[in-house]
Amino acid sequence: MPLTKTIHRPTLHEELVERLRNLVVEDTLKPGEKVPEKDLCEAFGVSRTPLREALKVLASEGLVVLQANRGARVAEVTREELEKTFPIIAVLEELAGELACQNLSDAEIEVIETRHAAMVKAYLAKDRKTYFQANQDIHNALIEGACNDILETHHRLLASRVRRARFMANLSDDRWAQAIQEHEQMMEKLRVRDAAGLGQLMKTHMMNKYAAHIRALEAVSEDAAEG
Amino acid sequence: MPLTKTIHRPTLHEELVERLRNLVVEDTLKPGEKVPEKDLCEAFGVSRTPLREALKVLASEGLVVLQANRGARVAEVTREELEKTFPIIAVLEELAGELACQNLSDAEIEVIETRHAAMVKAYLAKDRKTYFQANQDIHNALIEGACNDILETHHRLLASRVRRARFMANLSDDRWAQAIQEHEQMMEKLRVRDAAGLGQLMKTHMMNKYAAHIRALEAVSEDAAEG
DNA sequence: AACCGTAATTATGAATTCATTATTCAGTCA
DNA sequence: TGACTGAATAATGAATTCATAATTACGGTT
C-alpha cells in the first residue's frame, strides 16, 4: 500500500480549465458573453497558449462555444437544452441511486441521514442557503456512493450545464414541500437498501424538479407578457 | 426554415481531434502506447500547437491520459472501466429508446425495419461484417431518433471508450442468436410505439451484451491459466 | 443624416522559439 | 558484472511571433 498519494503537479492548462469552468458555472462569465483571451491572460498572468488549450476543453464540455476566427463565447442555457438535459440527469441519478444502495456502508448512510435531518431543519426554518447546501451534499453523497467515477464525471458535466440556469433561486413553497417529501421517501428506501426503489424516486425527483422549473419559467414569461 | 446549414469551416484542432479519436478508437494507436507529438505532427503536417490542443480535448474525453512533462498515452481499457461504463450506456439507451418511440416518424421506423431485415439476413448467412454494420446502423438510428443531441454526445463518448475493447470479434453463437432475438423484440415494441417497452429492452440488451463480453473475457483468462 | 466601401486596428489560428523536465547513455566505482 | 552518477539528448510546457481573418473607424456619396 502506498504511503503517499502520487503527487499531482497541475499544469497551467489544467489549472485554467478549473478556474474558467468556475467562472462560467458561478455565472461570473455570463451566457452569450465573449471570452476575451487577452484580458483573461492578463488576469491569470499566463500566455495565450495554455488559456486556449483550456478553452478547447471547455468547449468539448459544452460550457463555451468556439467560432472559428471569432473566438469563444459562453454557451447560452436554452430551454431546449434543459429539456434535453434533465431526462439524462434523471436516468443517471436513477442508476446512481441503485448503485449507492448497494455500495454505501451503514456508516455512510448514517452520515447522509444526518445531512437529511439538517436539510429538514433548514426547510422548517426556511433557511434556503443552508437547505441548498445540505441538498447538494446529499445528492453528491449519493452520486459518490455509486462508486462509479465515470458516472460521476458525466453527471457533473451535465449538472454543471444545468446549474447555470440557477432556478434554485425561484423555488416555490409548494415545490419545496414536495421536494422535502420526496427526500423523505428516498431516505426510507435507502434505509432498507431498496435499490430499485431509490433509483426510481431519484429519477422522478429530478423530473419533478425539472417540471417545477418549467412552470417557474412560464410564470416569468407570462409576467413579462402582462407587464 | 434555413435553406443552407450554416457552413462550418473546421479548424485544425477540430480536424485533429477527429483524426486522433479515430486512430484511438480504430485501435491504430494501441492502449498504453505513447502518443509522440513529433511524429504525429509530421504525419499530419501540422505544428505542435493544434495537435496539443487536440490531445487536451481527447484527454477530457478519457481516450488519452496526460502526464505532466511526460506527454500523452492512449488510455487503457480496463475491465473495471467496462464494468462502470456499460450500466451507464444501458440507461442512456433505455432513455433513447423511449424518446425514439415518441419522435421517430413512420417513415423512419420503416427504414429501421429495412435495416433490421438486412441484419437478420446477415445473421442467417453468418456474415459478421454485414451484421455488425447493420447492427450499428440500427442502434445509431435509435439514438438519433431520440432527437437529443446531448444524449447522443454522451452516448458516443461512452460508446467510443467501450468499443475499443472490440469484443464484437468474439461473439459466441449463443449470444448472437440471443442478440437477434432481442432485436426482434425491440422491433415489435417499436412498431407499436411502446416507449417504456423498447427502453426496457434496449437496456437489458446492452447489459446482456456486457454479460456476454465478461463471459468471453473469463474464458480467455481461463485458457491463459490452462495454457 | 444614413448608407456603403475601404483602410486601420484588433483578435484569432497556427507556427516557432525558448526554458525546463525527462530520458538515454557513457563512464565510474564497488 | 552491475548499480550509480552525471553529461548529452530528446521531449514537453509555455511564451512568443507571424499570418490571416474579423472588427472597427473613417470618409465619401446620396
B8-38 pLDDT, tens digit each: 668 999 999 999 999 999 999 999 999 999 9
Nearest to B97 by CA among B143, B153, B136, B135: B143
Where does B67-194 have alpha helices with state H?
Answer: 79-103, 106-124, 128-145, 149-163, 173-191
Domain A12-74 = CATH 1.10.10.10: yes
Query: CATH topology for B79-226?
Result: Four Helix Bundle (Hemerythrin (Met), subunit A) (1.20.120)
Nearest to B76 by CA among B65, B85, B87: B65
Percent of chain A with pLDDT over 70: 93
Distance of C1' in D16 from CA in A12, Å:
17
Of the candidates A57, A87, A95, the beta carbon closest to that of B87 is on A95
Domains of chain B, by residue range, sit at: 12-74, 79-226
B33-69 pLDDT, tens digit each: 999 999 999 999 999 999 999 999 999 999 999 999 9
Query: Following CA atoms B19, B24, B29, B32 in sequence, which dihedral angle do they give, to the nearest 10 degrees?
Result: 140
Non-local CB neighbours of B172 within 8 Å, separated by 6+ positions? B212, B215, B216
B68 Cβ within 7 A of any nucleic strand C atom? yes
A121-160 pLDDT, tens digit each: 999 999 999 999 999 999 999 999 999 999 999 999 999 9
**Under-70 pLDDT residues of chain B:** 1-9, 168, 222-227
pLDDT at A226: 63
A202-225 pLDDT, tens digit each: 999 999 999 998 888 887 776 666
ipTM of the complex: 0.91
Better-predicted residue by pLDDT, A140 or A2: A140
CB atoms within 10 A of CB B107: 7
A40-59 pLDDT, tens digit each: 999 999 999 999 999 999 99
B34 Cβ within 7 A of any nucleic strand C atom? no
For an interface test with B, the pick among A47, A48, A60 (most B C-beta atoms closer than 10 Å) comes out as A60
Say if B7 is an interface residue toward chain A (CB within 8 Å): no
Non-local CB neighbours of A81 within 8 Å, separated by 6+ positions? A161, B150
Q: Does B151 contact A88 at a Cβ distance shorter than 8 Å? A: yes
Please provide residue A193's backbone torsions phi and psi, each rounded to the nearest 5 degrees.
50, 45
pLDDT at residue A61 tops 60: yes
| Strands of A71-74's sheet in order across | A34-35, A71-74, A64-67
Query: Following CA atoms B126, B132, B134, B139 in sequence, which dihedral angle do they give, to the nearest 10 degrees?
Result: 140
Please provide residue B32's backbone torsions phi and psi, each rounded to the nearest 5 degrees.
85, -20
Q: Does B99 contact A85 at a Cβ distance shorter than 8 Å? A: no
Question: Quick check: B23 and B29 in contact, CB under 8 A?
Answer: yes
Mean of per-residue pLDDT scores for chain A: 92
A37 Cβ within 7 A of any nucleic strand C atom? yes
Non-local CB neighbours of B101 within 8 Å, separated by 6+ positions? B189, B190, B193, B194, B195, B198, B199
pLDDT at A3: 37
Are B12-74 and B79-226 equal in CATH topology?
Answer: no
pLDDT at A224: 65
pLDDT at B217: 80
pLDDT at residue A2 tops 50: no
